[in-house]
Structure 1
Amino acid sequence: MAHIDQYHFYERDWESYEQLRESFEWEIPDQFNMAEYVCDRWSRNRGRVAFFAEDEAGDRRTLTFRDVQIEANRIANYLSEAGVTPGDRVGICLGQRPEAAVGHIAVWKLGAVSVPLSTQFGDDALAYRLDDCRAVACIVDGSSVDTLRSIRSDLEALETVLTIGADPVPTETTWDAVERRSPQQFETEETNADDDAIIIYTSGTTGEPKGVRHAHRLLLGHLPMFAENFMETGTADESVFWTPVEWSWIGSLFSVVMPTLYYGQPVVAYDTDRFDAESAFGLIERYGITNLGAPTTALRMMMQVDDPADRYALETIRHVAAGGEAVGESVIRWARETFDGAAIEEVYGQTEANLVVGDCHSLKEPRPGKMGLAAPGHDVAIVDPETAEPIDEPGAVGEIAVRYEGNPVCFREYWNKPDRTDRKVRNGWLLTEDFGTVDEDGFFSFEGRKDDVIITSGYRVSPEEIEEVIASHVAVTDAAVIGVPDEDRGSVPKAFVVTSDDEWRTPELKEKLENRVADRLARYEYPRTIEFLDELPTTSTGKVRRQSLRERDGIADS
């Protein structure tokens, strides 16, 4: 099975980014199954590495694409024998380990639909998702098996449970048992590119989570921006990718894991309960990681490690991509210094349409404070949030929107929520619910979520902008900003701050941070109140959960 030419544009020389965008056209085969492209076609080279795996205890193993194919075939055979059929939903609730990817691949081989689930979910969160999508099977590891067992009697559709790293009860089967008994040959189901492949639930910062239905074509929609990574070297060869984020959301599974496998390169899988910045540097050195994809929060934690470039060999890093929140100049400067001039880019997208905006360093000089340009194949615009009509004025604030029709990265619809789909896709545009701007040269800036933008004295204030200024102070490790009611101004910013040491929690630091924002941004943007916290509330994807901060202050309904 040959590669699809359009997604290897990095092998050509381009005069400009504009030339690349104008030349790019989507190439989507009628029949397309992700399992064949991320696994089967590479398995003939029996020595080709797919995963370098390690856990917190230091146990290490290496899996080839052939190993992955055999394991996926065994799991697919087991699920098929258990009654899973094309179109059925199968939950994947595993930590960052090769079996998580194998589970998805096995489900796709069947023509079934995988449902990634965070190992951080409690009873209600896990039960809601499995029940909402009517999952008939679930693959779960030791960190979540007790949670699943406690809710299983309430899940009428769930008939099959496959466990890893847990002593099974009589109604369950272990992964090891399947590997011993299940046949290693399986013929991958023929699927259309538009057939359902995965349902990813949104973080649910407001309201109940929504199941985002994506087809097999989803993978192809991620490739243009991902392939821009390789334009720095002109080849995908000898690349090693890692993200510290668990593989239960689109920003890790399809921004890093599956595209890396599509190009036949290895992924580092590090199974741990929490992110440790010191360990991250050790992984980079140990596996020669070339491409790091991380939330800005993780990069800020790595900034707290003393002299990493002197203590670790980090020269293999060529590219750092950050998303989920604004990156900021302080993080960019640190990353360039620490990783010896590596390309640092902010990428933008969401569960419904991911990797649609970012930088292409080899063809266009990045601009400070900007997210970047629309990626090849993606038509992105700023539209009026009420009418969904494009706004032509450069710099005008509006809603970031992605052209929906013909774009493989765009979701099909929300699972069982047609009214929400109708509100999400209007006038031919997928509305992101994010405010932003675009300048005369096509560079996009992020202003904030619809429900996060602070309107104070008639000004629109982006919380991310204030957070970046506060977080760049030496005493601060993280910050979050919300709008709180104010009788005179409508609302004013309030900051929640995490410091590197308790001794920094003083009225003097509050005053310094207020002045810092007022001096660097504007007087109307400085936080009128600053509250110190031990840690910020986050979603399972690592994003700051501002809704929880509003609830904490009694200004939002639970």
Structure 2
Amino acid sequence: MSRLDAYHFYERDWESYEALREAFEWEIPERFNMAEYVCDQWADDPERVAFYAESAAGERRTLTYGDVQEEANRLANYLASAGVERGDRVGICLGQRPEAAIAHVAIWKRNAVSVPLSTQFGPDALGYRLDDCGAIGCVVGPSSADTLREVRDDLDALETVLTVDAPPTSAEAEWSAIDEASARFEREPTDPEDDATIIYTSGTTGNPKGVLHAHRLLLGHLPAFAENFLAAGTTDGTVFRTPVEWSWIGSLFSMVMPTLFYGRPLVAYDADRFDPETEFELVERYGITNWGGPTTALRMMMQVDAPTDRFDVASIESVSAGGEAVGESVITWVTETFDGASFEEAYGQTEANLVVGDCSALRPVRAGKMGLAVPGHEVTVVDPETAEPTVEAGEVGEIAVRYEGDPVCFVEYWDEPDLTDEKVRNGWLLTEDLGTVDEEGYFSFEGRTDDVIITSGYRVSPEEIEETLASHDAVADVGVIGVPDDQRGEVPNAFVVVADGTEGSATLKRTLEERVKDRLAPYEYPRRIEFVDELPKTSTGKVRRESLRERVATSDS
């Protein structure tokens, strides 16, 4: 197994960002399996820690890379005995705990396809995704076991269910069942283009889309991650942490897997919700050096009283944020609280992640700017109508990524060839984000070409919320938009037309809120529900969300 020197460029001195960008070239081996590089290459070192793991209940564990390899090999053998073959899909619905990463590694060893799933999903959201990808197996934790059981009879392909810290039913097995399997596993060769993972993302129309990525996906994330090491010139001594659950590309491949690729430890904390004081405690307890998460989490941490008087946070060297806009006040707070730690903003999406970001060691960070094109990625602003790069510097257009030859770009939308063709046009992967790029190469985000809601870093489909609300007998019609929120960036706002004979009451509001929480996810519920007599519609009967946004803007002014 080769070292892949291209992704260790931080070990060299660079006179400028431009010199690094010009010199960088992708290094993609003829055979490449992510499991080998995030686990097996480090497993012979008995002292190398992979995870410092805690739970909200107080349980603490330390796992080495050797521990991870042994468990992953056992699980891979167990899956093989259960009939999981190359290309089969296996869901992972676990909290932030080592077993989640181990499950991915095992599935990749088997040359199967992992499907990360949020523990916040209700039965509709979880059932749809497992059914859509035809998952043959699922590893599930205590917070989602009952949810899965509620929909399992409707999942024709699902045969194998492993529970973690949840008593299994007669049709399931507990994680300890893998103990009977061998700790040695002989992996078949994997091409970097082989299918590896499906991550679901929400848009504004239709159901959530399964974004299929190949094993090369990990390599595409490494340049942005490695930029964090430029100032130090080494990864030695680093300890990583993200509070985001590991079911999203912005945590799983922006932090978890790159950390493991470089053989460093990651702090995992399994809890139902984010607690800012706990975050400071973890920094002190484990000497966390590199922290990354959504801006919402940083805003919540900003509300903690006198953190530097109560916690030792001197270990922090770098803080990164993405998924939503970062204001100057957040950057100032980070650099003051963590005594001059660098701040790195990152931009991307499920289809092409970490393509723009700050490179603070070589270029100044500019408030209000997302950063520069990351080495290896060709990013520009195109005309939204023609997908041609004819937009002048400083003018608003659609942010786009050169598709061919970029390992971070998705393969396709699962079983949706027409949607794939719409996403990739004229050789560019269209992000559906409006933005600008100035003469010096700094990108700015200006808005969305669609209506997707980005709340606390989560991408939420208004149509998915609308369908869930409209299925309630008391709702005749509904429209959902995102509205600005100081803490979460945006929150869903629902406009509801009630059915004849129904009163738009506070009780109904609570019922509808709980319906979305239970059937989709807690972060998707509308924080504001307004009862209206009718909704603005287009000539084809679609809700005019722009008119709803104008209504909110007028009422808030």
Deviation at 1:368, TM superposition (A): 1.6
Q: Which residue of 2 aligns with 1:105?
A: 105
Go from structure 1 to structure 2 and tell me whether the alpha carbon gap of 1:541 and 1:202 turns closer, same or farther (over 3 Å shift).
Answer: farther
Residue-by-residue CA offset, 1:321-363 (whole Å, 9 max, x unaligned)? 1011001101111111111111112100000000000011110
Which structure 1 segments of 5+ residues have no match? 455-465, 472-476, 486-533
Q: Which residue of 2 aligns with 1:185?
A: 184
The 8 Å contact of residues 391 and 398 in structure 1, kept in 2 or not, is answered as no
**TM-score, length of structure 2 as denominator length:** 0.84
Identity over aligned pairs, percent? 67
Equivalenced residues, count: 491
Q: Which residue of 2 aligns with 1:275?
A: 274
SS at 1:347 equivalent: strand
2: distance between equivalents of 1:210 and 1:377?
26
1: distance between equivalents of 2:314 and 2:531?
43
SS at 1:320 equivalent: strand
2: distance between equivalents of 1:538 and 1:176?
32
Q: Which residue of 1 aligns with 2:166?
A: 166
The 8 Å contact of residues 50 and 265 in structure 1, kept in 2 or not, is answered as yes
Deviation at 1:237, TM superposition (A): 1.2
Q: Which residue of 1 aligns with 2:194?
A: 195
Deviation at 1:144, TM superposition (A): 0.4
2: distance between equivalents of 1:395 and 1:17?
21
One-letter identity of the residue aligned with 1:90:
V
1: distance between equivalents of 2:171 and 2:331?
51
2: distance between equivalents of 1:429 and 1:449?
17
The 8 Å contact of residues 277 and 301 in structure 2, kept in 1 or not, is answered as yes
- Taking the TM superposition and a 5 Å limit, the aligned residue runs for 1:63-74 are 63-74=63-74
Residue-by-residue CA offset, 1:475-519 (whole Å, 9 max, x unaligned)? xx455389999xxxxxxxxxxxxxxxxxxxxxxxxxxxxxxxxxx
- Taking the TM superposition and a 5 Å limit, the aligned residue runs for 1:408-557 are 408-452=407-451, 467=484, 471=486, 477-478=487-488, 480=490, 556=543
Q: Which residue of 1 aligns with 2:40?
A: 40
1: distance between equivalents of 2:522 and 2:375?
27
Go from structure 1 to structure 2 and tell me whether the alpha carbon gap of 1:365 and 1:272 turns closer, same or farther (over 3 Å shift).
Answer: same
SS at 1:232 equivalent: coil
1: distance between equivalents of 2:519 and 2:353?
17
Q: Which residue of 1 aligns with 2:213?
A: 214
Q: Which residue of 1 aligns with 2:81?
A: 81
Go from structure 1 to structure 2 and tell me whether the alpha carbon gap of 1:120 and 1:306 turns closer, same or farther (over 3 Å shift).
Answer: same
2: distance between equivalents of 1:254 and 1:413?
18
Deviation at 1:6, TM superposition (A): 0.3
Q: Which residue of 1 aligns with 2:472?
A: none
Q: Which residue of 2 aligns with 1:116?
A: 116
Q: Which residue of 2 aligns with 1:488?
A: none
2: distance between equivalents of 1:266 and 1:47?
11
The reply on whether 1:241 has 2:240 as its aligned counterpart is yes
SS at 2:230 equivalent: helix
SS at 1:269 equivalent: strand
The alignment yields a C-alpha RMSD, in angstroms, of 2.7
**TM-score, length of structure 1 as denominator length:** 0.84
Residue-by-residue CA offset, 1:48-94 (whole Å, 9 max, x unaligned)? 00000000011100000000000000000000000000000000000
- Taking the TM superposition and a 5 Å limit, the aligned residue runs for 1:46-61 are 46-61=46-61
1: distance between equivalents of 2:81 and 2:489?
50
Which structure 2 segments of 5+ residues have no match? 454-482, 496-512, 537-542, 546-557
Q: Which residue of 2 aligns with 1:261?
A: 260
Deviation at 1:166, TM superposition (A): 1.0
One-letter identity of the residue aligned with 1:129:
R
One-letter identity of the residue aligned with 1:391:
T
One-letter identity of the residue aligned with 2:78:
Y
The 8 Å contact of residues 326 and 346 in structure 1, kept in 2 or not, is answered as no
Residue-by-residue CA offset, 1:125-172 (whole Å, 9 max, x unaligned)? 111000000000000011101011111111000000011111111111
One-letter identity of the residue aligned with 1:38:
V
2: distance between equivalents of 1:386 and 1:550?
34
Residue-by-residue CA offset, 1:233-262 (whole Å, 9 max, x unaligned)? 110111111110100010000000000000
Deviation at 1:552, TM superposition (A): 7.6
Deviation at 1:547, TM superposition (A): 8.5
The 8 Å contact of residues 292 and 320 in structure 1, kept in 2 or not, is answered as yes
Go from structure 1 to structure 2 and tell me whether the alpha carbon gap of 1:253 and 1:404 turns closer, same or farther (over 3 Å shift).
Answer: same
The 8 Å contact of residues 296 and 489 in structure 2, kept in 1 or not, is answered as no
2: distance between equivalents of 1:101 and 1:35?
10
The 8 Å contact of residues 78 and 178 in structure 2, kept in 1 or not, is answered as yes
Q: Moved runs in structure 1, 4+ residues, more than 4 A?
A: 481-485, 537-558
SS at 1:260 equivalent: helix
1: distance between equivalents of 2:518 and 2:380?
28
Residue-by-residue CA offset, 1:261-280 (whole Å, 9 max, x unaligned)? 00000111100000000100
The reply on whether 1:11 has 2:11 as its aligned counterpart is yes
- Taking the TM superposition and a 5 Å limit, the aligned residue runs for 1:140-179 are 140-179=140-179
Q: Which residue of 2 aligns with 1:459?
A: none
The 8 Å contact of residues 122 and 518 in structure 2, kept in 1 or not, is answered as no
2: distance between equivalents of 1:87 and 1:346?
35
Go from structure 1 to structure 2 and tell me whether the alpha carbon gap of 1:433 and 1:371 turns closer, same or farther (over 3 Å shift).
Answer: same
